[in-house]
Amino acid sequence: MFINRNRELNHLNNAYNTITSKFIVIYGKRRVGKTELIKHFFKNNTGIYFLAQKFTGKDNLQIFSELLADHFQDELLKEHPFSTWNQVFMYLKSNVKSRLILSIDEFPYLIEDNKAIPSIFQAGWDEILSKLPIVLILCGSNISMMERDVLGEKSPLFGRRTSQILLKPFRFYDVRKFFPHISFETQLEFYSVLGGCPGYIKQFSEKKSLYDNIKHNILVPEAYLYREVDFLLKEELREPRIYFSILKAIAYGNRKTSEIINTTGIAKNVLHKYLSVLEDLYFINKEIPITEESPVKSRKALYKINDNFLKFYFRFILPNKSLIEEGKSNNVLRKIKNNIVFPVSFNFEDVCKEWLSSNWEKFEITKIGRWWDKNQEIDLIGFDENNENVLFSECKWSNKKVGINIIKNLFEKSEALNYLFENSKKHYALFSKSGFTNNLLEYTIKTKNIYLYDINKLKKSNLK
C-alpha cells in the first residue's frame, strides 16, 4: 500500500520528465519509506536501483557492475566488473543515450568504507553525469552523515544537488488510511504507539486489539519493534547511553532543561550539546509558546520527542526490559494499560492541530500551536497574519462530556493574551472525545464564535 507521498512522487516525476540532468538527495530516518518512494518512482520510469551494503568497496562495485550489465545486456561486464567508480562513470558516459534513473540507496555505507567517496562522486558528477540525461538519486537513512557528507557546505558534493527531499513520518490522518476498518479512537491509540513510520505501522494488524498487537509485536525479545530503537540510535549516535538517559527523561514528562538536568545529572553546559545533536537528527523538537516574538531567545522552551514510537519505547519498554526478557510481558502490559491515556491525550492535541490546519474556514490560520505561561496553558492558539483574528482552543481526551466550565475557563485564560489580541476578533473551539453537556450546547447557541467538535466531526477531514 502506497499512501500519500504524492508531493514527493510528483517532484521526482517532474525531474524525470525534464531534459536536463538532475541530482536529487533523499534522506530521512530508518523505516520512514524512502526505498518505497524510490521503487514507486521506478514503476513507470527506466532506471537502475542499487542498495549499498556494509561490504567492502570492491564487493559493492561488483554488485553494482552486475546491475549495469543486466540493464545494458553486457555479458562482458558481468565477467569483468569495475574496480573503481571512475570506471563506472566512464561506462555510463559511453552507454547512456536516453533518460535514466541512477539510484544509490544507503549511500552512507559507501562513505563508511571509503571517505573519498564524496570527492569521487563530485568529480563524476561535474565531469560526466551532469552532462548526461541522468536523474541521480543518493539516498540514506543516516541523517547526520547525509547532512554532513552530502548536503553540508564542507562536503565536496555541496552545491551539486538540484533538489533534496527530507522524507518525514506520516501524520495522523495518513496513518488512519493504514487501518480503515477500526474506530477513530483505536486509530489514535495505534498512532500513539507506532507514530508515522510505515515500517512500524505495518507491524500492527487492525484485526487485533491494541494490547494484543503490543504484546505480540513489541513485548517479545524476538519482535522486530523490540530492538528497533536500539539499532536506530546506535547507528546515528556515538554515545547512545547518554542520549538514552535524555530521551527517557523527556518521555517521562521532564521537558524543561532544568528538569532534564535534575533527572539525568548531566551538567547544563554538556546537556545543551546533546540536545542540539538530538534536534539536528529530528529526534526531538524545542517547543516554544506560539505567541513568542523571539523564539530563539525564549526561556520557556520545552523539549518534545518527535516520534511516538520513541516516546512509547522510552516510557514503557526501556524501563521494563528485564521483565520482558524474563517473559513477564503481562506485567508490562498492565503498566501500559494504566498509563496509555497520557500519550493518547497528548497526541489528541496534535490531531486537532492537524485538523484545524486544513479544515478551519473562519479565517486563514498562519500560525498555530500551544501556549503556556507560569501555571496556565492553552492547548492551541491560531491566528492570522495581522492578528485580525485569533482562535483559542482546548482539546479534551476524556470519557466525560465537556461542560460549560471548560469554555469559561478558556475565556479566563485567553484574557492573559489581551496585550496581543485586544483588537482581534476572538473565536473559541472545543474538541472532545466524548461530546458535550446539554448546558454547554445551549450556551453556545446564545454565545457567538464558539465551535464544538466531537469525534464524528474529526473523522471528516479535507486532508488528502
Domains and CATH numbers, the chain: 6-166 (3.40.50.300), 218-339 (1.10.10.10), 347-459 (3.40.1350.10)
CB contact at 8 A, 26 and 165: yes
pLDDT tens readout for residues 317-367: 999 999 999 999 999 999 999 999 999 999 999 999 999 999 999 999 999
When pLDDT is averaged across residues 8-26 and rounded to a whole number, the result is 96
Q: 447-460: per-residue pLDDT in tens?
A: 989 999 999 999 98
pLDDT at 461 over 50: yes
**Cβ atoms within 10 A of the Cβ of 115, count?**
9
245-294: pLDDT as tens digits: 999 999 999 999 999 999 999 999 999 999 999 999 999 999 999 999 88
Q: How far is CA 382 from CA 359, 369, 394, in A?
A: 13, 7, 12
Q: Which of 388, 382, 399 is nearest to 451 (CA)?
A: 382
pLDDT score, position 460: 85
Q: How confident is the model at residue 4, as a pLDDT?
A: 78
Cα–Cα distance for residue pair 112/313, rounded to 1 Å: 29
Confidence of residue 464 (pLDDT cuts 50, 70, 90): very low
CA distance 276 to 286: 10
Question: What confidence score (pLDDT) does residue 221 get?
Answer: 96
**Phi, psi values for residue 166, rounded to 5°:** -95, 105
Q: Tell me the three cell numbers of residue 98.
A: 536516453
* pLDDT value for 295: 84
CA 404 to the chain's CA centroid: 36
Predicted TM-score of the model (pTM)? 0.92
pLDDT of residue 463: 58
- What is the reported pLDDT for 330? 96
How far apart (Å, rounded) are the C-alpha atoms in residues 239 and 365?
Answer: 41
